[in-house]
Amino acid sequence: MSAVIDFRTEPSRYRHWRMNFDGPVAYLLMDVDPAGGLFDGYELKLNSYDLGVDIELHDAVQRLRFEHPEVRAVVLSSGKAGVFCAGANIRMLGKASHGHKVNFCKFTNETRMAIEDATEHSGQFYLAAVSGVCAGGGYEIAMTAGHIMLIDDRRSAVALPETPLLAVLPGTGGLTRLTDKRKVRRDRADQFCLVEEGIRGQRAVEWRLVDEVVPPSAWQPAVARRAAEFAARSDRPEGEAGIVLTPLRREVSDDAVVYSHVRVALDRAGRRATITVSGPGALPSDLAGVHAAGATFWPLAMARELDDALLHLRLNEPTLGLLVLRTEGDVDAVLAADALLEAHKADWLVREVRLLVKRGLKRLDLTSRSLVALIEKGSCFGGTLAELAFAADRAVMQAEGAVIAASVLNFGAYPMSNGLTRLETRFLGETESVAGARGAIGCALDSAAAEGLGLITAAFDSVDWDDEVRVMLEERVSFSPDALTAMEANLRFAGPETMETRIFGRLTAWQNWVFQRPNAVGVNGALQRYGSGQRAEFDPERI
C-alpha cells in the first residue's frame, strides 16, 4: 500500500455514499461499491469499508455542515438490502501494513467524532436507521449517532464480533462508546462482545444497544417521523444559503506540498517536515462579507488546508517524525480574524468555521509526530495561530523582533480532547498562570514577556538562533520514534479523562499492540485465516 493517498474528494466522485434531501432531513446512505477499494486485492463486500469509504464519509459530513444549513437532522442508513454495514474490510486489514491499520483506525474515529460534534454543537442531529447486518465497525458507525433505530425483522442485529472472529478489538471506539456513551452494563457488554451473531429485537433496547426497535410494516414512516422530531429541535437557520467547499488547490513535488495559505517543506534526510502557515491578507469587514467570502474566508481556507496537509503527512510520509511549525504574516491581522469569529459566533457559518478549526487542531494534537514551534521575527503566532505553539511539545522564540499574542479564542473556542483548552492543559493546576495569559489578550508579547507568562519553552538570542534550533531538531530526531510517540501521547493530554481521550489512548495502547500480535496477524492468526475454514492458532500466554 505505497500509492499516495489523497483525502480530497467531492460528491460527484463518491463511489460509496449517496445523499438525499427531504426538507430539513438529509439521508446519508452507505452503498459501498465492492470494486471501489482504495487498493487492489480485496472486495468491499456487504458494505464493508476501507479508508477510501471513510474519506468520502468525512467529506460528506463536512459538506452537510457548510453547504446545507437547512439540514437539521441526518439519517445514517444503508443503500443495500439486508445489510447496514459489515464493518472494516477484513481482507484489507490482513494486507495492510501496521502503520496503515493504525492511521486508518485513527482517521475513522476522528470522522466518527465529527458526526458527534455535529449533533452536539451544530444543530445537525444524526440518527442511525439500522436494517440488516450491523457488525463491528458498522455498529460503531451507528453508535456515533445520537439515536439508533433497529428494524425488528428477526434478522437485523447489532454486533461487535471482532474478538471472537478476528482476535482484535473494535478499533474505532466501539468498546468505549458501548460503556461511556451507551451506558451498557459491564457484564452485558462483556457478553455482547463475545456473541458473534449479535443482539436483536427488544433485548437490544433493554441492554441499551439501540434506542428503539420498529416493526417492518412501520419502518419508513417511523424513521421519517423520528428524524422530523429531532429536526424540529434544531437551531439551524431557515432560508439561508450554504457555502460551497470548493476544491483545495495544492501542488505536490518531491520536496514540498504547497497550498494557498500553507506550505509543507519535506526534509527526508533530516526526517522532518516544516509546516508554514501564512496569516490573512484582506479580511471582510462584517458578517455579510464573511458569507460572501465563503470558502476563501481565511480561517476556513487555512483550516481546511492545514487539515489536508496533516492527513497527507500521516499516511504518505511515515518517516518524517518531526513537524516544525512556523507562521508568516501580521499578528494583528490574525487577531482581527479572531475578532470577526468572536463577534459573530452566533451565526451558523461562523460557528461552523470555529468548530472546523477546533477539529483540525485536535487532529494536530493526535498526530503521532513530535511538534516544535519556531516563533521568529516575521511570524504571526497570534490567537488561533498561537494554538499551534500551545499544541507543540516545545515552542522556542527568537529573542529579538518576534512576538506572540493571545485572543479570546484561546480561552474556550478550541478545547482539546480532554475538554480543556491548550493553555489550561499547559498550566494544569496553575489557575493564576491561565489568568495571567488571559490578562495579556491582544498584547503583542516579546520573548521576555512570553517567557515570563510561561507561553514558550525558551528564548534564543538571534545570533545563536540557527545553531540552537539546528541542535534541538537534530537531537529530537535522534531518539527512538516509538519512545517519542509514547512519551508525547502521555504528556499532551494531562488532566481529566474523557470518552475521547480514552478512545484514542486505548487505540494507541491496545489496538496498536494487538494488531502486531501473531494471534491476530501471524501466519496462523485470525485475520489471516478468516474465511478459510481453518481455525486460528492462539498463543495462550498472557503478557
**Which string of b and e fits 107-130 if b means at least 16 CB within 10 Å?**
bbbbbbbbbbbbbeebbbbbbbbb
Q: Which residues partner with 213 through β-bridges?
A: 150
Q: Does 2 fall in a domain?
A: no
State the pLDDT at residue 510. Answer: 67
DSSP alpha helix (H) spans, 40-156: 51-67, 90-95, 98-121, 137-144
Look over the chain and give the mean of its residue pLDDT values, rounded to a whole number.
95
Which 8-state DSSP code applies to residue 33?
-
Could you report the per-residue pLDDT of 471-491, keeping only the tens digit for each?
A: 999 999 999 998 998 899 889
pLDDT digits (tens, 9 = 90+) for 241-254: 999 999 999 999 99
User: Does residue 376 share a domain with residue 302?
Assistant: yes
Domain encompassing residue 312: 251-491
Cβ-based neighbours of 508, under 8 Å, separated by 6 or more: 368, 485, 486, 489
pLDDT value for 511: 67
pLDDT band (50, 70, 90) for residue 1: very low
Q: Are residues 182 and 285 in the same domain?
A: no
pLDDT tens string 26-46: 999 999 999 999 999 999 999
255 and 187 housed in the same domain: no
pLDDT at 119 > cutoff 80: yes
In a domain, 463, yes or no: yes
Q: Out of 53-67, 90-104, 178-192, 377-391, pick the least confident.
A: 90-104
Q: 183 pLDDT exceeds 50?
A: yes
180 assigned to some structural domain: yes
- Under 8 Å between Cβ of 514 and 80: no
Domain boundary among 232, 267, 282: 232
C-alpha to C-alpha distances, 148 to 43, 46, 62, nearest whole angstrom: 28, 20, 21
φ, ψ for residue 499 (rounded to 5)? Answer: -55, -40
What is the pLDDT at residue 508? Answer: 65
The answer to whether residue 456 is domain-embedded is yes
Per-residue model confidence as pLDDT tens digits over 264-281: 999 999 999 999 999 999
Same domain membership, residue 140 and residue 92:
yes
Q: Of 204, 232, 260, which residue is a domain's last? A: 232
Cell of 284: 471582510
Say what percent of the chain tops pLDDT 90.
88
Count how many domains the chain has.
2
- 196 and 270 fall within a common domain: no
- Check residue 69 and report its DSSP letter: T
> Which residues, other chains included, contact 443 with Cβ-Cβ below 8 Å and sequence gap of 6+?
405, 406, 449
Q: How many residues does the chain have?
A: 543
Average pLDDT over residues 95-123: 94
The reply to whether 198 falls in a domain is yes
Cα–Cα dist 509/518, whole Å: 17
Predicted confidence (pLDDT) at residue 543 exceeds the cutoff of 80: no
Q: What percentage of the chain has pLDDT greater than the value 70?
A: 99
- The burial class, CB within 10 Å (0-12 / 13-18 / 19+), for 146 is middle
255 and 228 in a common domain:
no
Tell whether 97 and 192 lie within a shared domain: yes
pLDDT (mean) for 432-458: 98
In a domain, 509, yes or no: no
Give the domain-ending residue among 472, 491, 510.
Answer: 491
Q: What is the pTM for the complete model shown?
A: 0.96
Cα separation, 289 vs 474, in Å, equals 45
Query: What CATH number does residue 441 fall under?
Result: 3.90.226.10
> Within this chain, do residues 275 and 209 fall inside the same structural domain, yes or no?
no
| Cα distances (Å, whole numbers) of residue 315 to 51, 107, 474 | 11, 10, 23
DSSP 529: H
pLDDT at 520 over 90: no
- In this prediction, residues 119-134 reach a mean pLDDT of 97
- Could you tell me if 264 and 209 lie in one domain? no
Say yes or no: 309 and 414 in one domain.
yes
Q: Which amino acid is at 190?
A: D
Which of these, 231, 216, 49, lies nearest to 139 by C-alpha position? 49
What pairing do the DSSP bridges indicate for beta strands 212-214 and 157-159?
unpaired
| 515 within some domain | no
User: Do 312 and 184 share a structural domain?
Assistant: no
Whether 526 is in a domain gets the answer no
Residue with cell 538570542: 461
Residue 446: pLDDT over 50: yes
Q: What is the pLDDT of residue 489?
A: 87
β-partners of residue 25 are 22, 73
Q: Are residues 64 and 102 in the same domain?
A: yes
